[in-house]
Each structure stands twice: as C-alpha cells, then as structure tokens.
C-alpha cells in the first residue's frame, strides 16, 4: 500500500467514523433529548415531532443518497463527501448548543428536526462517496481489502459514541448528565469535524472520475440514467434484494437488536448492556478487514451470502443462550410458567409502532403490550365473540381495561391499576422482578472475567463476526456492480434503502411480532426470513464481481486489465 493510498483510506475512513458518531449520538440519547425538546407539547404535536425525528434517522437517508449521489457523479467524489461531512458535523454541534423548549418555545423542536433531517440527508450521501472514492483508488484485485476499512467505520462510530457517553456519564453522574451533560458528546463533534475536514482537504479527486471527466464521458443525468433505464435499474434492484437487504438485517441484529434484546427484553441495565456491546465490537471488528481481504481471494458472494445463511441458521440458539446467561431467572420462568391471553382475536391489532406515537387502546392490545414489555412468554386463547380481554396466570385472571371506551383522564389510572395487578400476579407465579439478582451486572468496564459477562461477550462477538462477514465486502461488491459514470448514485440508493428501511425498521417490527405471538424470540423471524431470501436471490441472480475492471466504460463488460497509465 503506497503512502497516497494510505492517506486516501485514512481520510475517507476517519471522516466516515465521525459522521456515524454524529448520527448514533441522537439515537443513543433520544430519550433525554426528547424530554428536553418534545415532552411539554400536546400529544398530537409531540407525535409529529417524533415521526419527523424518526424519518430523519432512517427514511430520509435514501433521499440523501439521490441528492448527493447525483452531485458526486456530476462534480466529483471528493467535493461531495466534503460537503456531507460539513453538514453532518455542523448539525450535530448545533444540537449541542441548541436552547431547549423551555427557553425558546416551539422553535427549539422545529430547529432540532431540521438539524436531524440534515443529518439524515448527509449520511445518505457520505457512505457512497467514501466507498466509491476508496474503491476507485484501490489497485485491481485489492478493492475488498481497501474498502473494508470503510466498513469498519459504522461500528467504530457506534463504539466511539458509546465510549464518549459512558465516560461523560461516569465523570458527571447521572443527574448532571441528564440535566446538561448530554450536550458534551454533541459538542465534541466540532473537534472531530475540524480534523475530518483538514484531512479531506488534502485529497485529490478520484482517478477514475478525473479520467472520465477528461474524456467527456461522465453522465449528464445520473438519476435518470441509473434508475430510468431498466438495464441499470435492474442491477440496483438485484443489489438491494440479493445483497444489501440481508446484509442490513444481519448488521442491525448483531449490533442494534442485540442491544434492544438485552435491555428491553432481558432487563439488563443500560450501563452493562453498553459495556457488553462495546466489548463485542472491540473484539469482533477486525473481521471487517479480514473478510474484505478474503473476498479479494474467493469472491464477494460466498462471504456475504455465507454470512447471511449462517446467521439465519443460528440466531435462535444464540439468542436463547443469551437469554439463559443474561437473566437465568427470567429464562426459567419462560420454560415453566404458563400465561394466556383470553380474548377475541379479531379485536387485536398488529402493534407496529416504529416512532412510538401510535396508541393501541383495545383491551387485547393493552394486555399483549403489557406482557411483551414485561418480557413474558404467553399464548393467546381465542374465543370468537368474547366480550373483553383477560390475562390468566395460573389460577389468577386479570381483566384488561378497554381504554378506547374511556376518556383521557380515566386511561392513566386504569392502565396503572392493570399494570400493578399484572406485575403482582406474575411475581406471585414465579416471574422475577426486573432487578432480580440473577441478571448480569458489570461493576466496571473490566469486569469481564466471570462466567456471565464472558459468555455474553462471546455470543455478542459471534454476532458481530456475522456482521463483519456480510458488511466487510459489501462496498466493493456494490462499487463493482455499476459503471463509473453513475456509480455514486447507483450504489448509494440500494445501500440506504436496505440499511435505512429494511434494517432500521427491525426493532419496531420485531417488537410487534413479539406482542402479536407472545414469544420473545419470534421477532427473530424478521431478519431470518430476509437474510434467507437474500441468499436465494443473490445466489441465483447476482453476479460475482471481484475480477471486474471498474475503470472500464461499463462495469458489466467482461473483466480486463486496465492500462498501466491508469494505475496509481
């Protein structure tokens, strides 16, 4: 690797790490930030803000891919991802200094949402630019290895954000952190932004793009050419369904759903959960480079699709083992205590609620949501025409309130009474309280030499290794699927639809599936089915690309060595 190539990789990777750091901060601190900016407004207004904040995080990313992908194919890779990091870093810093709603009223949440939308748009343009830029600098036969460093960045950004949050909490204490200390991780981003911009200003434009501009063969309408012509749109569709969708759900399961499962389902405290995830990221992240390098030897498809297949086959046993180790008392209760919901199934809803604003007020929904939040395994005993819903725990039957028939003032007390009676009945039957002594707890970051944390870190590291298998080679695979003239646009859109929509909706979809069935593991069917479908589609329809010459006029042409004058 030459000095220039190292500079390209470091500049692209460092900037992308910081960009992911900025993006993850809001997700990690959403509850605190929401309380500062949204909670004092009427429910309808609060729901709109929550919806827009969610949209910025996931749904807006494909639009950023179109906007900045087009710009990258028109004016160049370097300047485009310089713009994206300026937008992301500035927006994050401004969140850190933004006055709360107590100070400036409704302007505060409005400005916050605008900044979040800018973040989502910037992230949509960042990844494609960095991956394309590095790949177009990489020598033939080493693109998987070179671009694998870009793949480390999302995990590194998550890891960095967790570390900054943890150390800030430890330094200030929980009360001060919630009061004002939450701003510090956002303010730190200005330092990271300065470093990133300085590094990226030292870079030259991609040699493939410069050559194309000199020859006058660049696209005048990248979006139309990429998605308005079936020969190109078909490749983007196959990239989405045959590579990225499976990669996205494996990635989100290994990093985000595992975090959700530990904290929300297994009732592990947030400090311990973050430490367990941080250790697994630290131990497993080398796999990104390993599998990127290996993909140069044996191909992109065997590794990406192999990772999807192994994940689909092993998720159930791994998550059950995680449950048994993280909360043995709860795991035992799942095996021995029968809980039934007695209801007319036709009155129940599928509780898909990605932004947390929907209200499910039928008695059946109230009962199932309460049991799902309590991490109870239950079955539904359907009786057509039954009036009302009840929960049966042993010989105890508790009627669920029909909130839809109550006024706003009555719903709170009725819900509180039901939750109290339900908790007492579950405890009497043998379900442990949330803070039972068998739950794994880590006293310090290095409290990892006991069985519980050691086994859990091992399981989580294995999940991260699955992530590295599917994610390490994906940038090279996507770059190689598309011609230079529309590469930035073409690869960015399927990537961000897959990761922003298929992956981003995973936790909400999985919770709705758990509530629907009463099985805490049933949500795993979402990533398993999508990963398995990707294996089938990718095997049958997606070509192997590792030997393609991306400097050719059309990346779909047979591979050929590029001329020596094009080498770095």
pLDDT tens readout for residues 401-459: 988 888 878 888 998 999 999 999 999 999 998 778 899 999 888 999 999 999 999 99
DSSP state for residue 285 in the 8-state scheme = T
Main-chain phi, psi angles of 381, to 5 degrees: -100, 95
pLDDT band at 316 (very low <50, low <70, confident <90, very high): very high
Segment (H or E) for 393: strand 390-393
- Supply 545's token pair: 């690309």
Per-residue pLDDT of 465-521, as tens digits, reads 999 999 999 989 998 998 888 888 888 889 888 888 888 788 888 888 888 888 999
Closest Cα to residue 563, out of 215, 298, 144?
215
Please tell me the total number of residues recorded for the chain in this structure: 568
Which domains, and CATH codes, for the chain?
A: 3-326+442-566 (1.20.1250.20), 334-429 (3.40.30)
Distance CA 270, CA 196 (A): 31
For the entire predicted model, the pTM comes to: 0.85
How many other β-carbons are positioned within 10 Å of the β-carbon of residue 67? 19
| DSSP SS3 for 380 | strand
Closest Cα to residue 334, out of 510, 511, 520?
520
Task: Please indicate whether residue 366 or residue 13 has the higher confidence score (pLDDT).
Answer: 366
N- to C-terminal Cα distance for the chain?
10
Task: Please indicate whether residue 316 or residue 349 has the higher confidence score (pLDDT).
Answer: 316
Average pLDDT over residues 243-258: 91
Q: Could you tell me if 34 and 174 are in contact, meaning their C-beta atoms sit under 8 angstroms apart? A: no
Segment (H or E) for 5: helix 3-28
> 241 CB contacts (<8 Å, ≥6 apart)?
533, 534, 537
245-252 and 525-541 helices, crossing angle to 10°: 150
pLDDT of residue 565: 35
pLDDT of residue 242: 95
Could you tell me whether strands 379-382 and 339-343 are parallel, antiparallel, or unpaired per DSSP bridges?
A: parallel
Distance CA 397, CA 380 (A): 14
Please report which residue ranges of 29-98 form alpha helices under DSSP H: 30-37, 43-54, 61-75, 77-97
Mean pLDDT of the chain: 85
pLDDT band at 558 (very low <50, low <70, confident <90, very high): very low
> 327-338 as b/e, with b when 16 or more CB fall inside 10 Å?
bbebbebbeebe
Could you tell me whether strands 390-393 and 339-343 are parallel, antiparallel, or unpaired per DSSP bridges?
A: antiparallel
For CA atoms 156, 158, 164, 170, give the dihedral sign. negative
Kindly calculate the radius of gyration of the chain based on its CA atoms and give it in whole angstroms: 25
Does position 563 have pLDDT exceeding 70, yes or no?
Answer: no
Per-residue pLDDT of 125-152, as tens digits, reads 877 788 888 888 888 888 999 889 888 8
Task: Please indicate whether residue 7 or residue 431 has the higher confidence score (pLDDT).
Answer: 431
Q: What DSSP assignment string belongs to 505-536?
A: THHHHHHHHHHHHS-TTGGGHHHHHHHHHHHH
pLDDT of residue 483: 85
Helices (H) and strands (E) in the chain, counts: 26, 4
DSSP state for residue 338 in the 8-state scheme = -
pLDDT band at 555 (very low <50, low <70, confident <90, very high): very low
Distance CA 518, CA 122 (A): 39
Q: Report the greatest alpha carbon distance in the chain.
A: 82
Per-residue pLDDT of 353-376, as tens digits, reads 776 666 788 889 899 989 988 899
Does position 46 have pLDDT exceeding 70, yes or no?
Answer: no
| DSSP SS3 for 312 | helix
Distance CA 227, CA 218 (A): 16
């Amino acid at each position: 690797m030459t000095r220039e190539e190292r500079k390209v990789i470091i500049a692209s990777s460092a900037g992308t790490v910081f960009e992911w750091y900025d993006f993850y901060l809001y997700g990690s601190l959403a509850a605190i930030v929401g309380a500062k900016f949204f909670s004092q407004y009427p429910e309808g207004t609060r729901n709109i803000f929550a919806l827009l904040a969610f949209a910025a995080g996931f749904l807006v990313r494909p639009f950023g891919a179109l906007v900045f992908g087009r710009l990258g194919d028109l004016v160049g890779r370097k300047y485009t991802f310089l713009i994206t990091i300026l937008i992301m870093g500035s927006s994050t810093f401004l969140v850190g200094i933004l006055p709360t709603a107590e100070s400036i009223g409704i302007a505060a949440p409005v400005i916050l949402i605008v900044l979040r939308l800018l973040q989502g748009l910037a992230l949509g343009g960042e990844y494609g630019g960095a991956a394309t830029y590095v790949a177009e600098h990489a020598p033939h036969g080493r693109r998987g290895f070179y671009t694998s460093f870009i793949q480390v960045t999302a995990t590194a950004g998550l890891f960095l954000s967790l570390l900054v949050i943890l150390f800030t909490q430890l330094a200030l204490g929980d009360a001060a952190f919630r009061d004002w200390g939450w701003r510090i991780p956002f303010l730190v981003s200005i330092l990271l932004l300065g470093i990133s911009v300085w590094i990226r200003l030292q870079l030259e434009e991609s040699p493939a793009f410069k050559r194309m501009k000199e020859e006058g063969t660049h696209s005048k309408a990248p979006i139309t050419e990429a998605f308005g012509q079936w020969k190109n749109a078909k490749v983007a569709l196959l990239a989405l369904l045959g590579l990225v969708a499976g990669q996205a759900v494996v990635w989100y399961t290994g990093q985000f759903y595992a975090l959700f499962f530990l904290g929300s389902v297994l009732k592990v405290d947030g400090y311990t959960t973050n430490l367990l995830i941080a250790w697994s990221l630290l131990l497993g992240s080398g796999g990104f480079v390993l599998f990127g390098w290996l993909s140069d030897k044996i191909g992109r498809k065997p590794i990406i699709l192999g990772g999807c297949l192994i994940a689909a086959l092993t998720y159930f046993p791994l998550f059950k083992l995680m449950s048994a180790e993280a909360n043995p008392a709860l795991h035992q209760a799942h095996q021995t205590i029968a809980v039934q919901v007695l209801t007319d199934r036709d009155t129940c809803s599928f509780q898909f609620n990605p932004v947390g604003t929907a209200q499910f007020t039928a008695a059946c929904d109230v009962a199932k949501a309460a049991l799902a939040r309590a991490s109870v395994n239950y079955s539904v005993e359907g009786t057509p025409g039954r009036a009302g819903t009840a929960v049966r725990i042993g010989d105890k039957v508790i009627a669920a309130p029909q909130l839809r028939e109550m006024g706003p003032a009555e719903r709170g007390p009725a819900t509180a009474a039901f939750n109290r009676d339900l908790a007492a009945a579950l405890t009497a039957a043998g379900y442990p309280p949330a803070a039972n002594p068998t739950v794994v707890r880590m006293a310090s970051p290095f409290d990892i030499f006991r069985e519980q944390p050691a086994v859990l870190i091992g399981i989580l590291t294995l999940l991260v290794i699955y992530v590295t298998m599917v994610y390490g080679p994906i940038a090279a695979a996507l770059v190689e699927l598309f011609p230079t003239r529309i590469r930035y646009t073409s690869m960015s859109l399927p990537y961000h639809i897959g990761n922003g929509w298929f992956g981003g909706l995973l936790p909400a979809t999985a919770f709705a599936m758990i509530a629907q069935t009463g099985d805490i593991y049933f949500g795993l069917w979402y990533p398993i089915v999508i990963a398995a479908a990707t294996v089938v589609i990718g095997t049958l329809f997606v070509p192997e690309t590792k030997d393609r010459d991306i400097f050719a006029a059309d990346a779909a042409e047979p591979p050929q060595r590029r001329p020596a004058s094009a080498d770095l």
